[in-house]
C-alpha cells in the first residue's frame, strides 16, 4: 500500500515537472518561431533594399549588387539562428566561435576560389573592361562575353570560347583595344633609294585622306622612317575610330600596295 502511494506521488511530481518544462519550452518554441519569421522577413527586406540601393549607384555591376545583397541576407539569417539557439539556453559565444573556426577552415580550403571572387569584385568595381570590348593579357586574348564573380567569359578572334579565372586577369596588365574612341595605325612601305620622296609622300597621304574612316584630326602623315643603300622605308600614320581600326587597316594596306605597284605598260598598236 505504501509503495502504491509512493508511486502515485512520484508520478504526480514527474507530471508536474513535465508540465512545467512544457510551459517553459513552449514559450521558447513560440519565441523561436516568431524570431525565425521576423528574421526571414527582415533578411528579405534588407536584401532588396541593398540590391535596389546598389543598383542606383553608377558603375556598380548588377552581379556585384546581387552578390552584396545576398551576403547581407545570409548574414541576417545566421544572426537569427544564433538568437534562436540562445532562446533554448545554448551558449551563443561558443556557437560564434565554432562558426568562426568553420569559416576559417572553409576559407583556407577555398583560398583559390576566394581569390577569384576578390578579383571579380575588383574587376566589376573598377571596370578595366566591359562586355563587348576586345582585350589582351599575358595569356588571354578575345572579346569579353560576360564578367562574373569567379571567371570571365571571352570569345577569341577565331570563334573559340574561353573561360579565364578572374585572378589571372586581375594580377596582370590588361590591354583594352576598345576602351578609347580612336586608335592609330601605321603602314610601312619600301621604295627604291632613287625614288621621288615627295611623290611617295603624296601617294601615301592621298591613300589615307581618300578613306572616310580616317580621322581628319589628327591628320594622316607620311614620313621617311629608315633607309639603306638600296631602298628607303616610308611610313604612313593615321587615326581611325576603334571599331573601324581592323577593317581600315586591311583596306588601306591593300590600297598602299596598289598605289606603289608598277603600272603595266599599254602596248602601242598604231604602227601595225
Report in angstroms the alpha-carbon separations of 230 from 123, 192, 200, 222, 226: 52, 6, 16, 20, 11
pLDDT tens track for 119-150: 888 888 888 888 889 999 878 889 999 888 78
pLDDT above 90: residue 208: yes
Domain 9-109: which topology?
Answer: Helix Hairpins (1.10.287)
Place 209 in a pLDDT band, splitting at 50, 70 and 90. very high
Q: Is 138 helix (H, G, I), strand (E, B) or coil?
A: coil
Better-predicted residue by pLDDT, 132 or 265: 132
Mean of pLDDT values over 214-232: 90
Instruction: Count the Cβ atoms, other than its own, within 10 Å of residue 119.
Output: 21
Better-predicted residue by pLDDT, 138 or 270: 138
Rg (CA), the chain: 37
CATH 3.40.50.300 fits 128-176, yes or no: no
Mean pLDDT of the chain: 79
pLDDT for res 271: 47
Highest mean pLDDT among 12-21, 33-42, 169-178: 169-178
Percent of the chain at pLDDT exceeding 90: 30
Better-predicted residue by pLDDT, 66 or 183: 183
- Identify the weakest region by mean pLDDT among 7-11, 66-70, 91-95, 113-117: 7-11
Mean of pLDDT values over 185-197: 90
Q: Distance between CA atoms of 59 and 106, rounded to whole angstroms?
A: 31
Q: Distance between CA atoms of 200 and 122, rounded to whole angstroms?
A: 50
pLDDT above 60: residue 114: yes
CATH 3.30.70.100 fits 182-260, yes or no: yes
Q: Distance between CA atoms of 89 and 58, rounded to whole angstroms?
A: 47
Q: What phi-psi label fits residue 211: left (phi over 0), alpha (psi between -120 and 50 degrees) or beta?
A: beta
Better-predicted residue by pLDDT, 126 or 25: 126
Output DSSP code: residue 71: H
Which residue ranges make up each domain of the chain? Answer: 9-109, 128-176, 182-260
Mean of pLDDT values over 90-98: 63
pLDDT for res 93: 65
Place 46 in a pLDDT band, splitting at 50, 70 and 90. confident
Mean of pLDDT values over 7-23: 56
pLDDT above 50: residue 68: yes
**Best CA proximity match to 248, nearest among 259, 237, 233, 234:** 237
Q: Distance between CA atoms of 16 and 19, rounded to whole angstroms?
A: 5
Better-predicted residue by pLDDT, 61 or 47: 47
For the entire predicted model, the pTM comes to: 0.61
Amino acid at each position: 500500500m505504501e509503495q502504491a502511494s509512493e508511486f502515485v506521488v512520484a508520478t504526480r511530481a514527474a507530471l508536474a515537472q513535465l508540465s512545467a518544462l512544457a510551459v517553459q519550452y513552449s514559450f521558447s518554441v513560440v519565441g523561436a518561431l516568431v524570431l525565425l519569421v521576423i528574421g526571414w522577413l527582415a533578411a528579405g527586406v534588407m536584401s532588396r533594399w541593398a540590391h535596389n540601393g546598389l543598383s542606383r549607384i553608377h558603375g556598380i555591376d548588377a552581379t556585384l549588387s546581387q552578390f552584396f545583397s545576398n551576403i547581407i541576407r545570409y548574414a541576417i539569417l545566421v544572426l537569427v539562428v544564433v538568437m534562436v539557439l540562445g532562446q533554448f539556453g545554448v551558449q551563443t559565444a561558443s556557437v560564434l566561435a565554432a562558426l568562426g573556426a568553420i569559416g576559417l577552415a572553409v576559407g583556407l580550403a577555398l583560398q583559390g576560389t576566394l581569390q577569384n571572387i576578390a578579383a571579380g569584385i575588383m574587376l566589376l568595381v573598377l571596370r578595366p573592361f566591359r562586355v563587348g570590348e576586345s582585350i589582351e593579357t599575358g595569356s588571354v586574348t578575345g572579346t569579353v562575353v560576360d564578367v562574373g564573380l569567379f571567371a570571365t567569359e571571352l570569345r577569341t578572334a577565331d570563334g573559340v570560347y574561353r573561360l579565364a579565372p578572374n585572378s589571372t586577369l586581375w594580377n596582370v596588365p590588361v590591354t583594352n583595344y576598345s576602351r578609347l574612341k580612336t586608335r592609330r595605325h601605321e603602314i610601312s612601305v619600301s621604295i627604291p633609294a632613287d625614288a621621288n620622296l615627295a611623290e611617295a609622300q603624296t601617294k601615301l597621304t592621298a591613300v589615307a585622306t581618300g578613306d572616310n574612316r580616317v580621322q581628319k584630326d589628327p591628320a594622316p602623315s607620311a614620313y621617311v622612317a629608315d633607309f639603306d643603300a638600296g631602298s628607303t622605308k616610308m611610313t604612313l600614320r593615321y587615326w581611325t575610330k576603334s571599331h573601324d581600326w581592323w577593317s581600315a587597316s586591311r583596306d588601306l594596306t591593300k590600297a598602299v600596295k596598289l598605289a606603289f605597284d608598277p603600272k603595266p605598260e599599254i602596248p602601242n598598236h598604231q604602227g601595225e
